[in-house]
Structure 1
């Protein structure tokens, strides 16, 4: 006779999922930060970079948006060690491979939001800044980008929410994050319904917390009189 759910949750499921949750955080947070940095950099280069750089940035975005994330994860973990130039291949730790693949993919999508935000800012602001003696780079970084980032933040935040959910793909390269840990527990106990329903609650809580933090960030960065009223 199987133990009651609450006892199973207290003695086995919750401790295992908490370990997996910590590993998930170790994957999600660096991936999100890397994605934001890449997204901003690629977005700026796609709008204001010289033509060769714009082509490279657009190629990067097309590549990572056009291929399945699972293929990218497999490439960085399984294929990269076999690529060598007169030397040993590059072998990444499973967590490193997951962070790299998630960060690069997330950055490609976030660059679209940043590009849209930059294009929504009138070019007259740059001309006014140049007339005041600022360089183009100073005008973009100090005047245009802060405005564009505020407008792009909801989209970038939505991409971070997606990142939390597709971080579960790290389990396919032996990372024992939430999904990987839950799968192991389910295999060992045959209590699939309880395990995966509880897993869903964990992800729901993570997404809820992230959504709340992102809303706080939006409120902190808002400029009174220049934001659309919420409905």
Structure 2
């Protein structure tokens, strides 16, 4: 194994890693706020809204992400009458599946964070004369975020690894280029290089969330 060979296989994999990183950021940016919306819906006093949110979370957490991605990518277009209007680019379909799936997980994380806040916090806010909006934004949400942060960190790291599922819908990402090199060169070195790249990405995320945890711990 030479340095020239390592560079030869690493270049394409780094190109594939751009797709991996793009999917990660799209999924995180969209699934976290959507997950919080579903958390609020679950706590709604309007029963149909709460039932819908609970059903959504149950279905999306109870079925494999790969199945959801295949359904959106290949299942929606074959629905009678409306299927032709639901055809999407494969990367877009995968990104939608990731957003919907991780929103369900984040919804449960945020719900757990809200349940962990003592009811005395709400009562104290009322005593101070704070309205519902200020109570949520100034007291409840900061505490919820601090409580939920470790779980959000774990889900974010899992999301990085789950991006490898793009391989199943023929979107060229990091693992795709690694598998291509393995099939071509009959060596496991590309898998090792891919593993190192994944570890580097998860290390950066781990350091970021550790810094956030220290910040919120001492505030």
TM-score by length of 2: 0.91
Is 1:41 the counterpart of 2:37? The answer is yes
Preserved contact between residue 126 and residue 136 of structure 1 (Cα < 8 Å): no
8 Å Cα contact 2:70/2:169 also seen in 1: yes
- Deviation of 1:194 after TM superposition, in Å, equals 0.7
> Does the CA contact (< 8 Å) of 1:84 and 1:90 recur in 2?
no
SS at match of 1:92: coil
Structure 2 partner of 1:200: 195
- 1:210 aligns to what? 205
Residues 94 and 175 of structure 1 are in contact (CA less than 8 Å); yes or no, is this contact kept in structure 2? Answer: yes
- Count of aligned pairs: 219
Is this contact kept in 2: 1:65–1:108, CA < 8 A?
Answer: yes
Could you say which residue in structure 2 is the equivalent of 1:140? 136
Q: For residues 113-146 of structure 1, what are the alpha-carbon distances to aligned partners after superposition, in whole Å with 9 as ceiling and x for unaligned?
A: 1111101112233234345554434422332122
More helix by share: 2
Q: Is the 8 A contact 2:65 2:97 kept in 1?
A: yes
RMSD: 1.9
Alignment-derived partner of residue 77 in structure 1? 73
* 2:96 is equivalent to residue 100 of structure 1: yes
State how far apart, in whole Å, the 1-side matches of 2:24 and 2:193 are. Answer: 20
Tell me the CA shift for residue 58 of structure 1: 0.9
Equivalent position of 1:65 in the other structure: 61
User: Which deviates the most, 33-42 or 111-120?
Assistant: 33-42
Deviations 1:6-43 (A, max 9, x none): 22111x20111110111111111111122211222222
What is the distance in 1 between the residues matched to 2:126 and 2:87?
Answer: 47
Q: What do the CA deviations read for 1:51-94 (whole angstroms, capped 9, x no partner)?
A: 22221111111011000111011011111222355573311212
Residue range with higher mean Cα deviation, 171-180 or 31-40: 31-40
| TM-score for the superposition, normalised by structure 1 | 0.87
User: CA separation in 2, counterparts of 1:110 and 1:36?
Assistant: 6
Which of 117, 120, 123 pairs up with 1:121?
117
Distance 2:38 2:75 in 1: 25
Deviations 1:155-179 (Å, cap 9, x if unpaired)? 0110000000011001111111111
Asked if residue 221 in structure 1 is aligned to residue 219 in structure 2, the reply is no
Match of 2:108 among 77, 102, 112: 112
Q: Measure, in 1, the Cα distance between the counterparts of 2:185 and 2:97.
A: 32
Conservation of the 8 A alpha-carbon contact between 1:47 and 1:119: no
For the 8 Å contact 2:76–2:83, the answer to whether it is kept is: no
Question: Residue 117 of structure 2 contacts residue 140 of structure 2 at CA under 8 Å; is this kept in 1?
Answer: yes
